[in-house]
Structure 1
Amino acid sequence: MYPYGPPPGTPPRIDAGQLRPRWVWFVVAAVVAVVCVGVGIASFLLTSTSTVDSVEDDKAFTSGQSVTLRIGPGADAAIYVRSPFVARAHCEIVTAPSGSAPRVTTPGSTFTVTKGSVEWERVFVLKADTDADYRVTCDDPRGALTFAPGDDADFASFVGGIVVTVLVPLLGLLAGSGIAIIVGVRRGRHRRWLEAQAYYGRR
């Protein structure tokens, strides 16, 4: 038997249905790639939407004014300042339920959100151990800043969303391509083996 197929001549006709692995594996490869690309697109849209929605610019207020926010354990709020700003901002919680211990902290990383043509920079994170409404006031020495409440956007979560957006489609395309190549190579080998069997079987 010839390991690489029959000698030169007209090869026997092989029914594609006889080949293994079955052609359905090409469909599996395509589905894997399409699903992973879809996950990446969905992740991008969700990450972009959640990031933009983290700033409630419709509740923006100027220096010296206040806003009421719902804060609780595991539901931190944040204060954003319209960028660019150079004045030193200050925010404090002026009204809180009895027995609660709310606090205003400075985030450990910079996070900026762009809504339309306006950039908002997160400057304070508001934490509380009691789920309730808190009155927060903000100001600056010049009285020129514009503030807006919002969610405490986690930079790590944002980066994680971007990683999913990039890596999942890439891995899906690589996996789909790998499956298709392996199936194609094995079907080619199986075809040559069947041709050899048919050629020598009819002699």
Structure 2
Amino acid sequence: MYPYGPPPGPPPRIDTRQLRPRRRWFVVAGVIAAVCVGIGIASFVLTLTSAVDSVDDGKAFTSGQSVTLRIGPDDDAAIYVHGPFVTRAHCEIASGPPDSAPRVTTPDSSFTVTRGSVEWERVFVIKTDTAADYRVLCDDPRGALTFAPGDDADFASFVGGILVTVVVPLVGLLAATGVAIIVGVRRGRHRRWLEAQAYYGYRGPPARNSR
């Protein structure tokens, strides 16, 4: 005899299709994570490709020689140097339109690119207000350096690309984890509410759940 009635039976079987929020929110969390990781990978590849392609080593020349470049006001032209004592390198505009005012300056930050086994350092940036062909002459006291034209790599953009590579996947994974945890907790609460209904006929409103 049971003074308070027989013990309750086994837990009722709850159809998972009844639970809210729906399981599709787990899929949404997975999609968020996958997209953000994909963006990070694409950013990493594009950043490295852009950096490596900033040096045109196919037009490399030795100390005392020159290269002709087509440069416009909106172009970011640069000279990269390979060899020891790159600080002793010197480049100047040997020829160009008489009405132009090209400038060869030293960049504010250092930037190094490795292509194969060769390391190139950006040493000079070339600016002009007139689009034309310019002959750039470069040399060094020892005649030991090798020069190559290229693009003025934006260090800030490079760092920004690396940040995107790291931050976007991290944020995506955190967001996906948060969504999965919230959905799991709410589904658990909803399951307990359905079980209470089956046991005791409780008719109160369920915990608030998304569809």
Q: How would you bin the TM-score normalised by the shorter chain?
A: over 0.9
CA contact (8 A) 2:83 2:144 kept: no
Alignment of 1:4-83 (within 5 A): 9-83=9-83
Matched, 1:132 2:132: yes
Cα deviation, 1:91-142, whole Å, max 9, x if unaligned, reads 0111222322110010000100011111000000000112222111101111
* Closer/same/farther in 2, CA of residues 142 and 165 from structure 1, 3 Å limit: same
Task: State which drifts further: 128-137 or 168-177.
Answer: 128-137
CA-CA distance at 1:85 after TM superposition? 2.7
Alignment of 1:1-203 (within 5 A): 9-86=9-86, 88-201=88-201
TM-score where L is the length of structure 1:
0.92
SS at match of 2:144: coil
Cα deviation, 1:28-72, whole Å, max 9, x if unaligned, reads 000000000000000000001010000011110001111111212
Task: State which drifts further: 33-42 or 11-20.
Answer: 11-20
CA contact (8 A) 1:33 1:173 kept: yes
Tell me, in whole angstroms, the C-alpha distance in 1 between the residues paired with 2:106 and 2:158: 19
Give the gaps of 5 or more residues in structure 2. 1-6, 203-211
Tell me, in whole angstroms, the C-alpha distance in 1 between the residues paired with 2:71 and 2:167: 34
CA-CA distance at 1:74 after TM superposition? 2.4
CA contact (8 A) 1:65 1:138 kept: yes
CA contact (8 A) 2:78 2:151 kept: yes
CA contact (8 A) 1:87 1:142 kept: no
Task: State which drifts further: 114-123 or 91-100.
Answer: 91-100
- Give the residue type in structure 1 aligned to 2:148: A
Tell me, in whole angstroms, the C-alpha distance in 2 between the residues paired with 1:86 and 1:173: 44
Tell me, in whole angstroms, the C-alpha distance in 2 between the residues paired with 1:179 and 1:172: 11
CA-CA distance at 1:86 after TM superposition? 5.0
* Closer/same/farther in 2, CA of residues 153 and 140 from structure 1, 3 Å limit: same
Tell me, in whole angstroms, the C-alpha distance in 2 between the residues paired with 1:83 and 1:174: 45
Tell me, in whole angstroms, the C-alpha distance in 2 between the residues paired with 1:82 and 1:38: 35
Tell me, in whole angstroms, the C-alpha distance in 2 between the residues paired with 1:9 and 1:84: 84
The 4+ residue runs of structure 1 with deviation greater than 6 A are none
